[in-house]
């Protein structure tokens, strides 16, 4: 059975016509909210019941591709150019009917309007799935894909690289704001899926085979996005191209980051979603900051979660379908021994963004922020990197400007009931990263007075008068604490 997933331009046009109306909304309407929720739990029963009695095209396509069911040949023939798809290894005879060998499904993002169809392998975790995933399994849209899409800065740019494109979902998003897209992957099968999905979606991308930056040697990009195979696993583990590499520890993640500065145009950005090791010999934030040292790049690294080795290993053994199998315990021990040998005490999961700012003394921030953020958070990343320059103004420049507190900032006070003064004042952003910062009375008063009218210097003088302290002392106290707040978009000039 050919598995080439290759269609001619004419065949793509015919398939595209057949998929007309097979949209995210149409599938949702057909399977219902409960069917959709159950698919999220990897069960098809609720969706199957919702489709009972229906024989229309949407139900046929949904059964074939979304529920991985066998469908009668006449229905498939009526809905799709079946013979062509059999020839390309997309459909195959099965029992009395037909099955799909890959997943073709509509995609739509409420965040930026990206839409189209994506081609991938069937989810191996679904209750109708047949057998373990192949080593070159091409992942469909995963929660990690969505997170990367949401943290991507969506300013219009000329050239972008989608590194490790998989089914091509990031390229579909990039098409909304990028002139030229290069999409790479180590897997030929992934490129075939991406090529077909992007062709069906009317998106042009230059697809190239190869590892990491090899296929783009000597080229520069305004934006590089990647959700690479970041799983830290022992060499003995079965390698799935979509999640693991042959690098030791978090070496692949490090190579993605350290290789980026030479591929970024002036002001260009790399945005990575990935994992990194916490090691016994060095604080994790220091280790990650070291990856960008000397590059001239500003960086904002946000760790969203840290798992201990046991939690981490359990997640990825289950992902490989090993939970409950005879080899589970053996593999578990191998992973733990591997972590011990590398001194790995935990695994951080998060977002690594760097911008080629060309500074001798770049702004590198590595921090943990596990709390909810406003999605899509890419806007907040954009604001941060734009505000970094303002945060570096001289003291005299800062004092001469009229600043305005962001409209989303609210104040929370905590204290003993009935007390005259609060014991804690916390300012909280309602938008973006939704950060919180504890402030004292002086800083709260200064920020509260920033309404774009008076200069910061005038405000500080007025607050100093109210608090009965010398203005110069208040300036020395408050300015160093204001600078990071500027970079974090608490207020702007």
Ligand X SMILES: C[S@@+](CC[C@H](N)C(=O)[O-])C[C@H]1O[C@@H](n2cnc3c(N)ncnc32)[C@H](O)[C@@H]1O
Contacting residues toward ligand X, per CB under 6 A: 139, 142, 145, 148, 163-166, 169-170, 184-187, 190, 211-212, 227-229, 241-242, 245
Minimal distance, residue 186 CB to ligand X, in Å: 4
- Residue 241 or 429 having the CB closest to ligand X: 241
- Residue 165 or 356 having the CB closest to ligand X: 165
Long-range contacts, 438-444 (Cβ 8 Å, 24+):
439/481, 441/467, 442/467, 442/469, 442/474, 442/477, 442/478, 443/478, 443/481, 443/482, 444/411
Please give the structure tokens belonging to residue 216. 């783009």
> Would you give the end-to-end CA distance of the chain in angstroms?
64
- Residue 18 or 272 having the CB closest to ligand X: 272
- Residue 69 or 170 having the CB closest to ligand X: 170
- Residue 157 or 256 having the CB closest to ligand X: 256
DSSP state of 129: -
Minimal distance, residue 410 CB to ligand X, in Å: 35
- Other CB atoms within a 10 A radius of the CB of residue 454 amount to 15
Within 8 A by CB and 6+ apart from 122, the residues are: 68, 100, 101, 102, 103, 129
Minimal distance, residue 139 CB to ligand X, in Å: 5
Minimal distance, residue 333 CB to ligand X, in Å: 26
CB 405 within 8 A of CB 394: no
Minimal distance, residue 43 CB to ligand X, in Å: 23
Cα(158)–Cα(326) distance, rounded to whole angstroms? 52
Q: Which helix or strand (DSSP H or E) is residue 438 part of?
A: strand 436-439
Minimal distance, residue 168 CB to ligand X, in Å: 8
- Residue 148 or 425 having the CB closest to ligand X: 148
Is the dihedral angle over the CA atoms 59, 63, 65, 66 positive or is it negative? Answer: positive
Minimal distance, residue 382 CB to ligand X, in Å: 20
Cα(294)–Cα(282) distance, rounded to whole angstroms? 19
- Residue 113 or 143 having the CB closest to ligand X: 143
Instruction: Specify the 3-state DSSP secondary structure of 441.
Output: helix
- Residue 307 or 462 having the CB closest to ligand X: 307
- Other CB atoms within a 10 A radius of the CB of residue 4 amount to 12
Minimal distance, residue 19 CB to ligand X, in Å: 21
């Amino acid at each position: 059975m050919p598995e080439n997933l290759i269609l001619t331009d004419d065949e793509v046009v015919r398939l595209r016509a057949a998929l007309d109306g097979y949209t995210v909304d149409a599938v949702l309407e057909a399977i219902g909210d409960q069917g959709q929720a159950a698919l999220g739990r990897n069960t098809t029963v609720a969706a199957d019941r919702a489709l009972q009695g229906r024989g229309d095209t949407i139900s046929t396509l949904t059964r074939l591709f979304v529920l991985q069911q066998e469908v009668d040949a006449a229905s498939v023939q009526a809905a799709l150019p079946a013979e062509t798809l059999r020839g390309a290894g997309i459909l195959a005879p099965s029992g009395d009917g037909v099955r799909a060998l890959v997943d073709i499904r509509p995609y739509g993002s409420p965040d930026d309007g990206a839409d189209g169809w994506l081609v991938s392998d069937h989810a191996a975790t679904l209750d109708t799935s047949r057998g373990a995933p192949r080593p070159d399994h091409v992942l469909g849209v995963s929660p990690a894909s969505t997170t990367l899409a949401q943290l991507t800065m969506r300013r219009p740019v000329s050239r972008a690289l989608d590194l490790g494109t998989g089914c091509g979902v990031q390229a579909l998003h990039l098409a909304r704001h990028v002139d030229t897209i290069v999409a790479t992957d180590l897997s030929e099968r992934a490129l075939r899926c991406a090529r077909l999905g992007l062709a069906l979606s009317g998106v042009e991308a230059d697809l190239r085979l190869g590892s990491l930056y090899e296929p783009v040697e000597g080229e520069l990009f305004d934006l590089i996005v990647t959700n690479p195979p970041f799983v830290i696993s022992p060499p003995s583990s079965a390698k799935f191209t979509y999640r693991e590499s042959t690098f030791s520890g978090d070496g692949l993640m490090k190579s993605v980051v350290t290789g980026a500065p030479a591929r970024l145009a002036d002001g260009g950005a790399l945005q990575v979603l990935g994992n990194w090791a916490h090691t016994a010999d060095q604080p994790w934030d220091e280790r990650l900051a070291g990856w960008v040292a000397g590059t001239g790049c500003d960086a904002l690294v946000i760790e969203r979660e840290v798992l201990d080795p046991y939690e981490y290993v359990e997640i990825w053994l289950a992902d490989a379908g090993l939970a409950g199998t005879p080899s589970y315990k053996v593999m578990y021990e191998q992973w733990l021994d591997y972590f011990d040998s590398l001194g790995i005490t935990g695994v951080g999961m998060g977002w690594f963004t760097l911008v080629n700012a060309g500074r001798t003394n770049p702004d590198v921030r590595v921090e943990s922020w596990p709390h909810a953020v406003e999605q899509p958070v890419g806007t907040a990343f954009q604001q941060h990197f734009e505000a970094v320059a303002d945060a570096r103004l001289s003291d005299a420049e800062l004092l001469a400007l009229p600043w305005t507190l962001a409209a989303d900032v609210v104040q929370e006070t905590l204290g003993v009931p009935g007390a005259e003064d609060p014991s804690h004042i916390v300012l909280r952003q309602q938008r973006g990263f939704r950060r919180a910062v504890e402030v004292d009375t002086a800083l709260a008063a200064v920020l509260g007075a920033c309404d774009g009218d008076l200069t910061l210097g005038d405000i500080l003088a007025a607050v100093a008068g109210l608090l009965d302290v010398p203005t110069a002392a208040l300036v020395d106290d408050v300015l160093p604490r204001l600078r990071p707040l500027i970079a974090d978009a608490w207020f702007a000039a």
